[in-house]
Chain A
Amino acid sequence: SQQGEEDPQALSIQEGENATMNCSYKTSINNLQWYRQNSGRGLVHLILIRSNEREKHSGRLRVTLDTSKKSSSLLITASRAADTASYFCATVGNGNKLVFGAGTILRVKS
């Protein structure tokens, strides 16, 4: 079963705008990760944030984590057409397996 919810389910923006996606989860976690998936490159790891971290940056990506609310957000700044893809959050608890959300479909229009 999926870990939690992601919203929005779908997002359509213009190139250059920022995109924000949110993820909620249900159980305690060791870390939370964000992945991108498109037909060309499969499932690609973007960024990992540990449970004791609150914010992390990587290039145009900014991830926040609020363990008290069991939620995370992914911000993509200055979006590009190549960012068009599905984005998934995934949590890791005590074991090694990833528990994914249902994903957000992002479309960046040029």
Chain B
Amino acid sequence: GAGVSQSPRYKVAKRGQDVALRCDPISGHVSLFWYQQALGQGPEFLTYFQNEAQLDKSGLPSDRFFAERPEGSVSTLKIQRTQQEDSAVYLCASSAYRAGGYNEQFFGPGTRLTVL
């Protein structure tokens, strides 16, 4: 079956531009996560949704970062007034939800954002 997909795969933005990154999770997956991976580093948590509810946004680095999942499926990560330090790979992951246990996260291929 289809995995997690992300678009665009590559995005080049001029400093100060707004960008929107899309994530299509695995169908039926309740949980959705966004991570940011800087060059040479491990991914870092940004935010987490359960259905349409954003339950944890503690990892968003500034108020320029905004994520939404209005219908509980597709999610968009928006970065306003991009800065060079925003250059990174943005990874989306989804998982099913089973109360009382850990649910494996499945990752998309990522969107590589380069801010010039």
Contacts and interface: CB of A to CB of B under 8 A. Distances in A.
Contacts of B44: 1-2, 100
Given A2-B44, A88-B42, A103-B42, A30 B105 contact: no
B18 interface: no
A31 B40 CA distance: 24
Interface in B36-82: 40-45, 48, 56, 59
A1 B44 CA distance: 7
Contact of A96 (B35, B41, B48, B109): B48
Contacts of B35: 98, 100
Interface string B92-103: 010100000011
Most buried by A among B31, B33, B43: B43
B110 A102 contact: no
Interface in A32-64: 42-45, 48
B35 to A, nearest CB: 8
14 contacts: A42-B109, A43-B91, A43-B107, A48-B102, A88-B42, A90-B42, A95-B48, A96-B33, A97-B45, A98-B45, A100-B35, A101-B42, A102-B40, A103-B41
Interface of A: 1-2, 30-31, 42-45, 48, 88, 90, 92, 95-103
Given A43-B107, A48-B102, A103-B42, 12 more contacts: A30-B102, A42-B109, A43-B91, A45-B105, A45-B106, A48-B104, A95-B48, A96-B48, A98-B43, A99-B45, A100-B43, A103-B41
